[in-house]
Chains A and B, each alone.
Chain A
Amino acid sequence: MNVMTQRPNVLAPDLEDLVNEHETSVFEVRDLTASYGATPAIENVSLDIFDKKITAVIGPSGCGKSTFIRCFNRMNDLVAGAHVGGKIFYRGEDLYAEDVDAVEVRRRIGMVFQQPNPFPKSIYDNVAFGLRVNRMTDHLDDRVEKALQDAALWDEVKRKIKDPASALSGGQQQRLCIARALATNPDVLLMDEPCSALDPIATTKIEDLMHELKADYTIVIVTHNMQQAARVSDLTAFFSVEGSAETDRSPRGVLVEYDTTEQIFTAPNDRRTEDYITGRFG
């Protein structure tokens, strides 16, 4: 499958093997550029996101990681002044084509945010929310239960499903948000630093959960935590900041290296990746 046209030269050769061997690309990102007003956020990013894999996006603060994954479900559309250039193909379809409905995109591509953001409703109504707005209300109870089971939360909440979601702990709230996103059967799950507000035990639970979800979902996770990227992901994209006041170009995020997680963490090709993962900067 020839999906790596215009492939940036930062890709390692074995990634091409990966593509050629058996993987299907869910997203093909080509020369993606995003900016907020006159401030650039990311520039010329090209990579593929593979089916049923966990892809981690790592890099220092301000490198545009969050901006990058928000391009996949067109959440950047909601930010005034945000502009996205270049192309993203989702299963062959141009995500930013004129006639693409961003609402329809978000129904296929779920998202979990940095801070758990349950609605001020019951646990049940939180999970049912996406089902209701997407008119998937047949067998509603079963669907809610299934989603909570998939998010490994069912046993903890089955006796208090009508209680307010705010009564749950932070880790449970985040798993509720995952259940809420899973309920509508998305194709892809985007996770924007899902554990940064959680304690280590809650983090472990979410990471275990991600391993289970990999069987059915394609996951893209932004994380600050390199150990987490190493633990959970199959592939890792390392972003960095380029340009500064001294070089007369405002700083922007660029993709430095994209490879299997093993390769990135054991034998990175780029000096900047090595410096970052060994803790020399960032």
Chain B
Amino acid sequence: MATVATSLRRHSNVREQLSERVVAVFLVGATLVGLLALVVLLVTVARSGAGQIDVPFLRNFASRIPERAGIWPPLVGTLWLMGLVTLFSFPVGVGAAIYLEEFAPKNRITSVIETNIANLAAVPSIIYGLLGLAVFYRALEMGRSLLTGALTLTLLVLPVIIISSREALRAVPRSHRLGAMALGATKLEAVYKTVLPSAVPGIMTGTILGLSRAIGETAPLLVAGAAAFVAFTPDNLLDAYSALPVQIFDWVRRPQPEFQALAAAAILVLLGVLLTMNSIAILIRNRYDRKTR
């Protein structure tokens, strides 16, 4: 039997060990930067804003007097916007993704469309605001309405939803499509009954990402006509409206410290709405994930 020459004990290559350590420390540090920023943000905002949140704050309208000011109209406006954006962007985005991924012929026109969508995802949001202003506000005469805001934000989130839905569809094995079609399913049946259910978790993730982007957007809404001061809550699509980020922006601009505290409180409410929305989407996603495993 040959003897094993090398020992199992750790070699004392100091340089190698040191570089392992340095890389490890850097990687952990890189992770902590993001986490730390989030914690600092949350703590600062919570310290100045948490005390402000009570029922009158949630239910009051805007006011020049900080004690009487509340976020009811922008809160309702944001909920309206999110509902409408989901309603518009989900079917259109997923529909476009299904077409491009499953049905579109692979030719120059579709590849131009694909490149365009990828580029649209990177367009600064204020440009979408200008587009909304030109098309919905002016050309289609929707004015400073909820509809203008919702359609503008829909354009903004569509590329995100389309791109991530396509990735989700692409991740479904081709063998599922072939298997379904070999059983006499039409192409449409194969997509709706096998591919789409498997892709739902990925599609939901993309939609969450898109809507999370939309809920915090301020610039496009400011440009496309959201008001910081509305004395009523919108009750139809053509009413004027405000939204939480717009309200926050308005308060942050004011010099009085009381308004800064209100802004912090409104940020907390916005985060609350965002988290609720995401939780619902994650619940739906997990349900499908279990079903399709």
Question: In the complex, are the beta carbons of B185 and A133 less than 8 A apart?
Answer: yes
Binding site for A on B (CB under 8 A): 106, 173, 175-176, 178-186, 189, 193-194, 197-198, 291-293
- Find chain B residues with CB under 8 A from A130 CB: 183-185
A-B contact pairs, 24 of them (CB 8 A): A75-B182, A113-B178, A115-B175, A117-B173, A117-B175, A117-B176, A117-B179, A118-B179, A119-B194, A120-B197, A120-B292, A120-B293, A121-B291, A121-B292, A129-B193, A129-B194, A130-B185, A133-B186, A133-B193, A134-B183, A164-B293, A177-B179, A180-B179, A181-B183
Stretch at the interface among A51-59, A103-111, A208-216, A238-246: A103-111
Question: Given the interface contacts A117-B175, A166-B293, does A106 sit within 8 Å of B193 by beta carbon?
Answer: no
Question: In the complex, are the beta carbons of A113 and B198 less than 8 A apart?
Answer: no
- Find chain B residues with CB under 8 A from A113 CB: 175, 178-179, 182
A164 to B197 Cα, complex, angstroms: 14
Question: Given the interface contacts A119-B194, A120-B197, A166-B293, does A133 sit within 8 Å of B184 by beta carbon?
Answer: yes
Question: In the complex, are the beta carbons of B184 and A119 less than 8 A apart?
Answer: no
Closest to A102 in B: B181
Q: Residues of A within 8 Å of B, CB-based: how many? A: 28
A80 to B105 Cα, complex, angstroms: 9
Question: Given the interface contacts A119-B194, A121-B292, does A184 sit within 8 Å of B184 by beta carbon?
Answer: yes
- State the total of A-B contacts with C-beta under 8 angstroms: 71
A198 to B292 Cα, complex, angstroms: 24
Binding site for B on A (CB under 8 A): 73, 75, 78, 80, 103-104, 106-107, 110-111, 113, 115, 117-121, 129-130, 132-134, 164, 166, 177, 180-181, 184
- Find chain A residues with CB under 8 A from B291 CB: 121
Which of B178, B182, B185, B198 contacts A120 (CB under 8 A)? B198
CB distance from B52 to the nearest CB of A (A): 48
Question: In the complex, are the beta carbons of A106 and B293 less than 8 A apart?
Answer: no
CB distance from A148 to the nearest CB of B (A): 15
Question: Given the interface contacts A117-B176, A119-B194, does A73 sit within 8 Å of B293 by beta carbon?
Answer: no
CB distance from B45 to the nearest CB of A (A): 42
CB distance from A30 to the nearest CB of B (A): 24
Interface hub of B106, B181, B292 (most chain A Cβ within 10 A): B181
Question: In the complex, are the beta carbons of B293 and A110 less than 8 A apart?
Answer: no
Closest to B186 in A: A103
- Find chain A residues with CB under 8 A from B181 CB: 75, 78, 103, 106
- Find chain B residues with CB under 8 A from A115 CB: 175
A119 to B183 Cα, complex, angstroms: 12
Question: In the complex, are the beta carbons of A110 and B183 less than 8 A apart?
Answer: yes
CB distance from B171 to the nearest CB of A (A): 12
Question: Given the interface contacts A80-B106, A121-B292, does A103 sit within 8 Å of B184 by beta carbon?
Answer: yes
CB distance from B170 to the nearest CB of A (A): 16
- Find chain B residues with CB under 8 A from A177 CB: 179
- Sorted nearest first, the 4 A-B pairs with minimum C-beta distance are A107-B184, A130-B183, A117-B175, A111-B182
